Structures are given as C-alpha cells and as structure tokens.
Structure 1
C-alpha cells in the first residue's frame, strides 16, 4: 500500500474561516492517520509563471482511502466548505510512487 500526499495551494480571500478551520483540520488530519508535513507561506516558484498562492500545504496520508475519509468526514465538510468559500484553493492527491523509475 502506497502513502499519499495532499498538496494544497491556498490563498485566503477572507480570514473569518481560518481559526475554526485550523482547530478542526489539525484534529481531523490526525484522526485519519495524516501528518502535516509543511504548512507555510515561505515558498518560492522556481519554474513557470503565474501568481503564487499565499500558502502551500503538504499532508502525508497512510493511504488514498485515509485522505478520502478525511475529505468526506462529516465533521470536516463544513470546514471544507468554509475554506473553499473563503479562499482560492487547489488540492491534489499524489501517490508516493516514482512511476518513472
């Protein structure tokens, strides 16, 4: 079974959702076996063009299903809705696999 990574780019358009989101998200990531690897505004673009997000977040999951369970957790859903309403967000789930090796 492969590990998976959630890679998020988040630029808040409102600050109202952030305190409640962080408290719930921290607890629920742990509940589903995840680990926050990086949550930072300290990043730089090395290639490409375009606007950089305010935050980049990486969460490690023990499995794809753990990540999906987190995203679908009834306790998380209202916080997800608040984040997506109060930010420009992109979320990719990436398998920890080198398919080109």
Structure 2
C-alpha cells in the first residue's frame, strides 16, 4: 500500500463553519489514520501566477482508501458541505511515488 497526501487550498468566504468543523475533522482524520503535516496560512507562491489561498493543508494518509473513506464518512459529509459552501476549496489526492525516477 502506498502513502497518499491530501493537498488542500482553502480560502474561507465566511468563518461561520470553521468552529464546528475543526473538532470533527481532527477526530475523523485520526480515525482514518491520517496525520496533519501542515495547516497554515504561512506559505508563499514560488512559481506561477494567481491568488494565494488563505490556508494550505497537507494530510498524510496510510492509503488511498483511508483518504476516500474519510471524505465519504457520513459523520464528515455535513462538515465537508459546510466547508465547500463557506470557502473556495481545492483538494488533490497525491500518491507518494515518483513516476519519473
């Protein structure tokens, strides 16, 4: 099984969802074996153009299945809906491998 990384860019458009999101998300990420590597507004663009998101978040997962199961967990779904409704969010799931090696 390969390690996977969730790479998120999140810019809240309202903070109404944030307080109710953090606790359940933390619990469920841990429940699925995930580990936050970064959750920060301390980042800079080194290449390319465009607006920087308010937050960059990186979560390490033990497998693709763990990440997908987290995203689909019925306990998480209402928090996901609140986050996506109250922010501009982009989420990529990246396998920890080097296809160019």
What TM-score comes out, normalization by structure 2 length? 0.99
Task: Report the equivalent of 1:98.
Answer: 98
Q: Can you give the 5+ residue segments of structure 1 that lack an aligned partner in the other structure?
A: none
Offset of residue 37 of structure 1 = 0.4
Moved over 6 A (4+): none
Please provide the CA RMSD for this pair.
0.3
SS in 1 for 2:89: strand
Structure-to-structure mapping, 1:27-42, within 5 angstroms = 27-42=27-42
How many correspondences in the alignment? Answer: 101
Residues 5-35 of structure 1 deviation map (CA, whole Å, 9 limit, x = unaligned)? 0000000000010011101100000000000
Matches of 1:35 and 1:23, distance apart in 2:
14
Post-superposition CA distance 1:53-87 (Å, at most 9, x none): 00000000000000000000000000000000000
Could you tell me how far apart the structure 1 residues matched to 2:25 and 2:96 are?
Answer: 22
Scaled by the length of structure 1, the TM-score of the pair is 0.99
Q: Does 1:73 align with 2:53?
A: no
Structure 2 unaligned residues grouped into runs of 5+: none
